Amino acid sequence: MKKILNSNGLKKFLRKKFPNLVLEIRTKQFIESFISIYLKNLLRKCCLLVKHRNGNLLKVRDLKHTVGKKIRNNRKSIIQF
């Protein structure tokens, strides 16, 4: 599986947000794997949406729609607890 976000990019991002944070190697690997899987699933769903509207170009609105739908579904599941 090819990495979507490389280690340096993750380090830079985390350093900006949490300057004192130190990660174990296994934790960093888990985060990289999680991001990769999340983005693959997100893009797969976006591509299905593009196909559904008979398009051939992934647009920002497709991403916004898919991410917005995912956030709304997560809020519902949180409320159910």
pLDDT tens-digit series, residues 7-33: 788 888 888 989 999 989 999 889 988
Band of residue 67 on the pLDDT scale cut at 50, 70, 90: confident
Domain limits, the chain: 7-80
> Helices then strands (H, E): number in the chain?
3, 0
What's the chain's average pLDDT?
81
pLDDT of residue 7: 74
| Options 3.90.226.10, 1.10.3720.10, 1.10.10.60, 1.10.20.10; CATH of 7-80 | 1.10.20.10
Distant-in-sequence, close-in-space partners of 70: CB < 8 Å, separation ≥ 6: 42
Band of residue 70 on the pLDDT scale cut at 50, 70, 90: low
Percentage of the chain modeled with pLDDT above 70:
79
